[in-house]
Each structure stands twice: as C-alpha cells, then as structure tokens.
Structure 1
Amino acid sequence: MSDTFRKFGQHQAMKDLFSTNAALYAQFRPHYPDELFRFIYAQLENHESAWDVGTGNGQIAAKLARHFTTVLATDISDKQLAEASRLPNIQYRKQAAEAVFSEQENFDLIISAQAIHWFDFPSFYARVYEHLKPKGLLAATGYGLIGCKDEQFNGAIRHLYYDLLGNCWDPERKYIDDAYKTIPFPFREISCPHFAIAEQWTANRLCAYLETWSAVNHYKERYEKDPLASIRQMASAVDPEVLYDFEFPVFVRAGFAIR
C-alpha cells in the first residue's frame, strides 16, 4: 500500500452484510435518479470504460452499461452478484474493493454507490489511483434516511432508525448520516449538486424496503424480536392499495486524481 494514503487510517475490510437478503435487496432497494448520472457523465471527456465498485445486485452497472462500452462490476457477495442483470458489456467479478488486479484495466469512471463507507480507504484509494485514467473521475454516491410526507409513517421511520435501531447500526453508517462529508477524499474535488429519489410506495412496500436494512438483521439477532412489528401493524391498518410519497436525499462526492 502506498504511504500516500496511510494518513487516512485503516478500518477492517468491506463487510458482507447483504448476502442474507440479496433477493430482497435487488427487489426493494430504491433506484438512483437519471439526473445524477447525467451530471456525472457530463464531467467526463471519454466514456469507454467504467468500474462499479461494490456493485451489489448490479443496479448501477446496468445503468452504466447503456452509456459505456465496457463495465467492470465487482462485489464480495456471491449471492448479490447472482441477482444482477446480465448484459453483454458488463463483466461481473467477485472482488474486494481493495484487491490488487491487472494494471491493464483502466477506467474513465470509477463509481461506488452506497458502498464506499465499507471500504478500507487507504487500500481502495491506492487502487483508484492505479486504475483511473488521466482524465477519469471517481464518484462516491449514496442516499440517506427515507422520509415520508405522511407524518404518521415519517415519525415511525424515525423512531425505528434512531430509537430502536440506534445501537444496531455498524459504525460505518455514520458516513451515510454525514452525507459522506466526513470520508477522506484525496482527489481534486468538484462541486456537486444535491439530488433526491422520489418514490410512491404502499405501506407494505415500505416494510419490504425496511427489511433490507442491515441494522434490522442485527436487531433480530441481538434481541430475537422484530423491530418492524409496529410499522407492520400500521401497514396492516391502512388501505393496502394507497400510495404514499417517500423521498431519499441523494449525495455525491466526485473528483479527479491529483497527479
């Protein structure tokens, strides 16, 4: 590992927290807005190759495949990769974000969506500097806590997140709460706008999404109880066909290598 990145410290390598609910994750996680990708693409001079790091079920890789000639999509979870859509110009590979790989593979865009907070920053950034083309961009994006315009569900979500699950989140979750502002970022950073994911979901669809939270599984293992019980009860008491307005704040940090 290059001494250049040691100052950012180390934490344990990426955790596999999402294999257990891989199918739910693929079905019920929200999708990033097209505006985010249009912004990212506009920063690039070339659009030949992209690397989606921590691809999970390949949601981002599938978007990139429409725009780039080739896409490498890597993850440490076999079960997540098994849920990914197969497209001819996407190469899926079981590979840690920090792993050393062929120097011949270089990219115009390296992107991590809702994943960089799990990486060992020094090792991952060393890989970025090895594989990012001279005019290539690193983009780290994610989305924060879901909000609802219905105050009853909004309050229930916040009670779940902060009160019931407060001590069940992994320490890395704080980077999401900070909108990635506190991650080390040794790049020539560009100013990025804020985005949002807008969804219209039934109450049962909300419950299905909440089931994908890693802290929900931690809570079940620790207390042998379902932390979603009260929200499920709320959902059972309303019309199952009614759609509620939900929104996720989307954030992104992006920059070019400092050569």
Structure 2
Amino acid sequence: MPTSTAPARNWFDQGGAAYARFRPEYPPELAAFMASQAPERRLAVDVGCGNGQLTGLLAQHFAQVVGIDPSADQLANVAPDERIDYRRAPAEQIPVADAAASLITAAQAAHWFDLPAFYREARRIGSPGAVLALVSYGVLTLDSALDARFQAFYRDQIGPYWPPQRQLVDSGYATIDFPFDELAAPAMQIRCTWSLPQFLGYLATWSAVRSAREAGRAELLTAFADDIGAAWGDLRLERMICWPINMRIGRL
C-alpha cells in the first residue's frame, strides 16, 4: 500500500489545547537536579507554569508544588495532581506567603516577565537559602537530512515574525540580568521521537507561526510543510528531535 508524504491535515491551524498536546517534555533529571540544590523539599513554586510540564516533575520531589500562570487557557489543560495547587496569577504578583518556597522555577517563561518585579517577588517568597532557576530550551535540531531546511525556515523565513524576547531564549538567557549567587548547571537535552504530524503540530504552537499567518504569509508555512514532508517520508515515521536545555540558577 502506498504511503503519503504530506501532512494529513493543516497542522498549522491548532486550537487552545495544542500547546499541551505538542510541547516537548522536560527530562526527569532536570527537576531532580533543581530539587537537589534546594535547602529543603517542602514547597516549590513554578512561575509561568503553562500547562504544567515542569510542575508535574517537581511534584515528584517536593511535598507541595504551586503552579502559577496568568493564562486561564493554559491552566485549563493541566493534568490534575493532588500534590499541585495551580493558581492564576502573573509572575509579578505571586500568591504565595513570605519565605515559604525553597525552589522557584520559571521554564520557557522568564523572557515574558517584568524581571525586576519578578525578582522582588522571588526574594519575598523564598525561604533562607532558596534557589531560583530560569530554564529555557534552545533551537531544535533534526537529523542531517532535514536540519538544513528547518534551520533556514527558523532563521530566515519565520525569523522576522518572532517577538524580540525570542532572542533571549536563543541565547539561553545569557544576556539577562541575574543578580544572584549563580550555581553551575549540568548539560542536558530534551529528546523526543516524533512523527511528522507531531512535529508540525509543535511548530503550530509558535507565536511566530501565528504572527506569519496573521500577516498573510501562510505560503511560508505551506512551502515548509511541503518541503519537510517530502524529506521526512512516511508521515508516521518517528524521527529524533533534540533541544538543548539552558539554565540560570542561583541562590536568593
């Protein structure tokens, strides 16, 4: 039976649940490392938690975890967990008691914060010796048959539609102000094996993709989907995708 090399649907047209469905999962060792740096394991607070990808991993190491996000849509897609209390709030007004948290995290979110205000809140809610970790993951890589086409799409075609904050993510937050006693972090990666529809579904969650569509440049997306689909082969074939994890971690 012949197989199709084209996506089965328009994967650049996703609803609100797409973020939870298609975003890559953090490796368990990321949460384990951050927990190992905390002075104790009573409470961790995950700020800008989205649909709870990192929050759920932290719950394996702490008696209680609070997940904070300003988006009702994101919080509607979390997986319920009795160890986690999800609360709708901005990073600059964290609804947690003073000196309560031994670990405060922000994963793929700090570039959206008013950092001075967030840092004031982190210092307020942090217990003595508490740890703050800003986590991001960089530009993905595919295998050699596909990566050049993807990198051209990311840098040259969709690149102009990224918000300015994306540069902070691409640099691994290396250029942001981080006025804390910084700790060394081990090298880590996110690794997934995805089919073509999963990969294109992930790209559909990008703000740059939405911006390109709103600007009337849907042909950029269609051309990329056609090219990558032809190079991918059977759309059910799973290929390895990797993202480097970057971290700024320090004591408050």
User: Same fold judged by TM-score > 0.5?
Assistant: yes
Q: Is the 8 A contact 1:219 1:226 kept in 2?
A: no
1:150-191 C-alpha deviation (Å, 9 max, x unpaired): 33x212211221111121111111111111111110110011
Cα 1:145–1:102 change in 2 (3 A) is closer
Match of 1:55 among 46, 49, 56: 49
Other-structure match for 1:4: none
Deviation of residue 136 (structure 1)? 1.1
Other-structure match for 1:17: none
The DSSP-based 3-state class of the residue aligned with 2:149 is helix
Other-structure match for 2:227: 234
Q: Is the 8 A contact 1:207 1:231 kept in 2?
A: no
Q: Which amino acid aligns with 1:184?
A: D
Q: Residues 69-148 of structure 1 correspond to what in structure 2 (within 5 A)?
A: 69-99=63-93, 101=95, 103-104=97-98, 106-148=100-142
Other-structure match for 1:175: 168
Deviation of residue 231 (structure 1)? 3.0
Q: Which amino acid aligns with 2:156?
A: D
Q: Which amino acid aligns with 2:62?
A: F
1:178-215 C-alpha deviation (Å, 9 max, x unpaired): 11111110110011122111111122221111111110
Unaligned runs of 5+ in 1: 1-19
Q: Is the 8 A contact 1:98 1:124 kept in 2?
A: yes
Match of 1:253 among 213, 223, 248: 248
1:154 aligns with 2:161: no
Match of 2:190 among 170, 185, 197: 197
Other-structure match for 1:13: none
Distance 1:104 1:42 in 2: 22
Q: Is the 8 A contact 1:21 1:212 kept in 2?
A: no
Other-structure match for 1:221: 214
Instruction: Give the structure-1-normalised TM-score.
Output: 0.87
Q: Is the 8 A contact 1:78 1:94 kept in 2?
A: yes
Q: Is the 8 A contact 1:114 1:143 kept in 2?
A: yes
Cα 1:122–1:108 change in 2 (3 A) is same
1:166 aligns with 2:121: no
Q: Which amino acid aligns with 2:120?
A: A
Considering Cα pairs closer than 8 Å and 6+ residues apart, tell me whether 1 or 2 has the greater RCO.
2
Other-structure match for 1:41: 35
1:216-242 C-alpha deviation (Å, 9 max, x unpaired): 001110125253212321354421222
Q: Residues 16-27 of structure 1 correspond to what in structure 2 (within 5 A)?
A: 21-27=15-21
Q: Is the 8 A contact 1:49 1:69 kept in 2?
A: yes
Aligned length: 237
The DSSP-based 3-state class of the residue aligned with 2:215 is helix
**Cα-Cα RMSD:** 1.6
Cα 1:30–1:100 change in 2 (3 A) is closer
Distance 1:52 1:100 in 2: 10
Q: Is the 8 A contact 1:201 1:246 kept in 2?
A: yes
The DSSP-based 3-state class of the residue aligned with 1:228 is helix
1:51-105 C-alpha deviation (Å, 9 max, x unpaired): 0000100111111112211111111110100000111121111100001545446
Q: Which amino acid aligns with 1:180?
A: Y
Other-structure match for 1:209: 202
The DSSP-based 3-state class of the residue aligned with 1:159 is helix
Percent identity over the alignment is 35
